[in-house]
Structure formats: structure tokens, C-alpha cells
Amino acid sequence: MKNIELIVPAIHCSHCVHTIKMELSDMGGVEKVNVDLNSKQVSVSYKSPASETKIRDLLADINYPAEK
């Protein structure tokens, strides 16, 4: 089990929060997603087959790219 924390600057409303949570939860291997609207922080707990790259790719894909 791994945890990452990413900053996603594009988060600005609760819709964004909901979208990110939902999309990440749909990915195989993702166990838990937390999104904070104020700090724009996304924390993900995951195991294989999910990976940091896959998560970053998905976020970029849905128009919420994470900061490097």
C-alpha cells in the first residue's frame, strides 16, 4: 500500500472534488481518495495495478493536472 499527496491547482469547487474522487476511485488498485477543496490537495492510497504515473496521467486526462 502506498500513499501519495498531490497538489491540483485547478480544483475550485465541490464539483471538482467530486469528479476527482469519482474518477480516481474507478481506477483499479486505488483504495482511498481524499480531496481537500481549500488546500487543493489530493491524497490517494493505492496498490498495484495503480501507480503514481497512472494517477497523474488520469488527472491530466480529466483536466485536473497535478503539480510536479
Interacting residues with other proteins (CB under 8 A)? 10, 12-13, 15-16, 18-19, 22, 62-64
Tell me the closest approach of the beta carbon of residue 36 to other proteins, in angstroms.
Answer: 17
Residue 13 C-beta: closest distance to other proteins, Å? 6
Q: Which is nearer to other proteins, 2 or 37 (CB)?
A: 37
Pick 46 or 64: Cβ nearer other proteins: 64
CA gap 33, 59 in Å, rounded: 13
